Amino acid sequence: MSSQEQRRLDQNRQQTPELQQLATRLQHHPYQPPPGFSAVEPGVHHASTVIFPTVAAMRARDWRNKDGYTYGLHGTPTTFLLEDRLASLDGGRHCVLCPSGLSAIALIDQALLAQGDHVLLPANAYGPGREFVERVLTGWGITHSVYDPLATSEQLAACITPDTRLLWLEAPGSVTMEMPDLRGLVAAAKARGVLTAIDATWAAGIALQPFDLGIDIVMQALTKYQSGGADVLMGSVTTRDDALHERLLFTHMRLGLGVCGDDAARVLRGLHSLPLRYAAHDASARRIAAWLQTQPQVAQVLHPALPGSPGHAHWLRDCTAAAGLFSIVFRREVTTERADAFVDALQLFKIGYSWGGPVSLAVPYTMPAMRPGWNEGPLVRLAIGLEDAEDLMADLQQAMQRAFV
């Protein structure tokens, strides 16, 4: 120990009376670590109780501001840091963290909608988020309508009523992968004073900048690419407008939403490699998607970056990259049982929801139940991980041979 460190330790001991009982000494030991520690990864702060230096300081702090700490649920250095980095990634000013992507969707709905209001949802909206509107908000006297994700601005305008308060966007749909005309839809909403929110999980703050298109709220499931390890549940809601952020923040507080420091640290760690991982997922997915277009059992590959995919022109105009997520539609003569057998035959691809992690996934969807009027063949969604693309194509090839012979 250096002489300076020894003097500092002695001063700490002199300033605090010697506590005789062991139990008290363990709770109130006077040692404080020296300032100035720096490392690549930030410290992980765990707190429910936050300690104030004085009563005046306690009374002066406002939980809505990030210039101080009030209670663990309202933020720690770890969560404040993650919120700031995510706001920068999205191109926003304010960010709040939620325990999951679904809770982030529900937060937006509950903060902005009240009895008598009307919300518009795209037909390809994330299923649990749509069910929240249909099964929960309907009981609160909030109505909704579903619109075609490839609607024109004029078609969307016809769906807006005097009670419409919120337009949800999803770009692209996470199963059927339509890329909407975001500019046209946002313009139609703004002309009638309707707020817009987008599920931008697929873009991950990289492929698309929604605020530059005039969108008011950006929601992401950090469970996906931001964490990257398939081991964290978290969501975020980012805004640029101060008043809008305060509406979200008050509801966030009243619902008691919060995330733990360890999970926030995992997402912070994942952000270091996010651009590299996203590019790798993108490159492999495009290569595999193009190859699947040549397979005789495949009727269509739904990937926004591929010509012919629904909304490809919108992707080309508004996006700079693409995620590792896409769907394949088999020919009509392929039965659902055959499509399920194809998924079961995969070896490298695992069967599981979510995406954005290192391992590739495959999920078959029952489309007539999910999209009434669907008259195409069975659909299987693929999430391309970080395995070698050649090995993944070989796995898909052997599964098709086993399922379709």
Based on the fold, state whether residues 150 and 229 are members of the same structural domain. yes
Q: Report the b/e string of 7-19 with b at 16+ CB within 10 A.
A: eeeeeeeeeeeee
pLDDT on residue 160 = 98
* Residue 348 backbone class (left: φ over 0; alpha: ψ -120 to 50; beta: rest): alpha
Based on the fold, state whether residues 293 and 265 are members of the same structural domain. no
Backbone φ, ψ for residue 133 (5° rounding):
-65, -45
User: Which residue among 33, 59, 85 closes a domain?
Assistant: 59
- Domain count of the fold of the chain: 3
Q: In which residue are the tokens 């912070």 written?
A: 268
257 occurs within a structural domain: yes
Confidence label for 8 from pLDDT (cuts 50, 70 and 90): low
Q: What torsion, rounded to 10 degrees, do the Cα atoms 237, 238, 239, 245 define?
A: 50
Based on the fold, state whether residues 16 and 144 are members of the same structural domain. no
- Residue 401: CB partners within 8 Å, gap ≥ 6? none
- Residue 20: CB partners within 8 Å, gap ≥ 6? none
Based on the fold, state whether residues 132 and 41 are members of the same structural domain. no
Based on the fold, state whether residues 52 and 95 are members of the same structural domain. no
Are 298 and 330 in contact by the 8 Å Cβ rule? The answer is: yes
Residue 76: pLDDT above 80?
yes
67 occurs within a structural domain: no
Residue 15: pLDDT above 60?
no
pLDDT-above-70 percentage for the chain: 94
User: Which residue among 14, 35, 59 closes a domain?
Assistant: 59
Residue 23: pLDDT above 90?
no
377 occurs within a structural domain: yes
pLDDT on residue 5 = 54
Omega before 275 within 30 of 0, i.e. cis: no
Confidence label for 11 from pLDDT (cuts 50, 70 and 90): low
- Token pair belonging to 84: 């700031």
**What is the mean pLDDT of the segment spanning 304-329?**
97
Based on the fold, state whether residues 231 and 307 are members of the same structural domain. no
Are 115 and 90 in contact by the 8 Å Cβ rule? The answer is: no
Q: In what order do the strands lie in the sheet with 298-302?
A: 298-302, 325-330, 379-383, 361-365, 350-351
259-295: pLDDT as tens digits = 999 999 999 999 999 999 999 999 999 999 999 999 9
Domain range for residue 47? 3-59
Beta pairing class for 350-351 and 195-199: unpaired
Based on the fold, state whether residues 291 and 391 are members of the same structural domain. yes
Which helix H or strand E contains 131, and what residues bound it? helix 127-135
How many CB atoms lie under 10 A from the CB of residue 233? 17
Are 356 and 384 in contact by the 8 Å Cβ rule? The answer is: no
Based on the fold, state whether residues 330 and 266 are members of the same structural domain. no
Whether the model clears a pTM of 0.75, i.e. scores above it, the answer is yes
Residue 57: pLDDT above 80?
yes
Residue 19: pLDDT above 70?
no
CA atoms lying within 13 Å on the CB side of residue 26: 3
Q: In which residue are the tokens 């995969």 written?
A: 346
Based on the fold, state whether residues 214 and 356 are members of the same structural domain. no
65 occurs within a structural domain: no
- CATH number, position 93: 3.40.640.10
333-382: pLDDT as tens digits = 999 999 999 999 999 999 999 899 999 999 999 876 666 667 789 999 99
pLDDT-above-90 percentage for the chain: 80
Based on the fold, state whether residues 312 and 215 are members of the same structural domain. no
- For the chain, give the mean pLDDT: 92
Determine the Cα–Cα distance for residues 383 and 285; give it in Å rounded to an integer: 8
Strand-pair partners of 147: 122
66-80, 151-165, 240-254, range with the lowest pLDDT? 66-80
Residue 400: pLDDT above 80?
yes
Exposed, middle or buried: residue 193 (CB in 10 Å: 0-12, 13-18, 19+)?
exposed
User: Which residue among 271, 292, 309 closes a domain?
Assistant: 271
- CATH number, position 371: 3.90.1150.10
Based on the fold, state whether residues 14 and 133 are members of the same structural domain. no
Determine the Cα–Cα distance for residues 380 and 395; give it in Å rounded to an integer: 15
Residue 327: pLDDT above 90?
yes
What is the DSSP code string of 271-289?
HTTHHHHHHHHHHHHHHHH
81-123: pLDDT as tens digits = 999 999 999 999 999 999 999 999 999 999 999 999 999 999 9
